[in-house]
Amino acid sequence: MEISAALIKELRDKTAVGIMDCKEALTECEGNIQKSIEYLRKKGIATAKKRGGRVTSQGQVQSYIHGGGKIGVLVEVNCETDFTGKTEDFTNFVRDLAMQIAATNPVAIDRERIPEETIQKEKEIYASQARETGKPEKVIEKIVEGKLKKFYSEACLLEQPFVKNPDITVQDLANEMMAKTGENIVIKRFVRFQLGEEDA
């Protein structure tokens, strides 16, 4: 049976699971969305988000130096066990994140960690741009909302398209890692240096 992209997207929207896992589930369940959700639950992928409360005191710090030493990144990613923290899969995951940060320069890991004043400043800029084009106030609100969504997808590490596979987000990548390991995985913090950049 041919699984359509629309069907994969529908399942992905409902479960926040990666594309390949959605495709596999739909293939196994002959395109039935409900059965596919059940399949993913049993496999433990759809429950990845529920692991959020579990303690993550193990993990790795990885670095990435790019562009002949012009950009450098340090990132800390935590998991639950020392065993997972030492696996090749986990190491590659953390390295990929360091490379992602070097390439995309996110403001924060997620929306909650973007300073409120940064969000307010962005809203003001979008609103004033929309007013200059003569848009009515009720339309301006919608425009600001749309532009803010785009801002989050660029500024928040977890919402960015993954540089090695733009069809998935960094959050999808993390979910896949949680599904694979059966552990809660947390991107704890990162720092990015760019040669010649002024301190904020």
Question: Is pLDDT at 54 greater than 80 in this prediction?
Answer: no
**Residue 39 pLDDT grade (very low, low, confident, very high; cuts 50, 70, 90):** confident
* Mean of pLDDT over the chain: 88
pLDDT of residue 78: 94
117 vs 199, more confident: 117
Question: Is pLDDT at 153 greater than 90 in this prediction?
Answer: yes
Mean predicted confidence (pLDDT) in 169-183: 89
The domain ranges of the chain are: 5-46, 51-110+156-194, 115-154
Question: Is pLDDT at 192 greater than 90 in this prediction?
Answer: yes
Burial class of residue 156, CB neighbours in 10 A (0-12, 13-18, 19+):
buried
How do residues 92-103 score in pLDDT, each as one tens digit? 999 999 999 999
pLDDT of residue 135: 82
CATH class of 5-46: mainly alpha
CATH 3.30.479.20 fits 51-110+156-194, yes or no: yes
Mean predicted confidence (pLDDT) in 85-98: 95
Cα 102 from Cα 64, distance rounded (Å):
7
For 164, the 3-state DSSP assignment is coil
pLDDT of residue 37: 84
pLDDT of residue 171: 93
**Residue 86 pLDDT grade (very low, low, confident, very high; cuts 50, 70, 90):** very high
Share of the chain above pLDDT 70, in %: 92
pLDDT of residue 137: 82
**Helix or strand holding residue 187 (H, E):** strand 186-194
Q: Hey, CA dihedral for 48, 53, 59, 64, is it positive or negative? A: positive
Q: Tokens in use for 69?
A: 């030493």
Domain 115-154: give its CATH code. 1.10.286
31 within 8 A of 3, measured Cβ to Cβ: yes
Question: What's the pTM?
Answer: 0.69
Question: Is pLDDT at 194 greater than 80 in this prediction?
Answer: yes
Question: Is pLDDT at 16 greater than 90 in this prediction?
Answer: no
pLDDT of residue 165: 93
Mean predicted confidence (pLDDT) in 39-52: 66
| DSSP labels, 15-36 | H---HHHHHHHHHHTTT-HHHH
